[in-house]
Amino acid sequence: MTGRMAYFILATVVVFVALVTIGGFYLLKIRASRASTWEDLLGRLLSVDRNGIEKVALDAIEPSGQRRTDEKARELEFDQIWALLGGLAGVERLEKNSRVLIDMAAYLQRWYPEAVATAEELRLQARELEWQVGRLRSAAQNDGLQFYFASYGQNAAVTYYLMVRRLLALYERSRLPIFAELKNAL
């Protein structure tokens, strides 16, 4: 056996082990999410200032979700957005809650198959929120948080606000009795 053949076999084994490990991780994650109860999901939600998030979000968008273009759009300054969202820690809570929102949509899929599309949309929005929070973390490491927080922090609030609205609309359409609990929790 030549040296190249040995390297090829070693690389193949490494790739195979990596794929099996990744597959096992996601399989365990799926099983854990299926075993979650409604109470578990509600318990995983971190407290956030709903009114603050709404105020920051509605400074940039209409309640319908369309971007505002009037002269009063994006009037909030850095210090106001920072206070309303709870700083970087508050935005990180939004990121963690976005994962719970996805799990809640997946939970609803058990009885309401139409929730699949909403769950996918929430996954995309959660990725956007993760990206925005990642930019804020990078800015914090480079002492540029004050410069970037107004933009990325507000965009994170908009994304989270729209995710919550989409999830609430989904649960309202499903007419399940847990809608009232969800509305109070979010």
Is pTM beyond 0.85 here?
A: no
Please give the average pLDDT of every successive group of 10 residues along the chain, which has 186 residues: 82 87 70 74 94 96 90 92 96 96 89 87 96 96 92 96 94 82 83
Query: 2 is written with which tokens?
Result: 């030549």
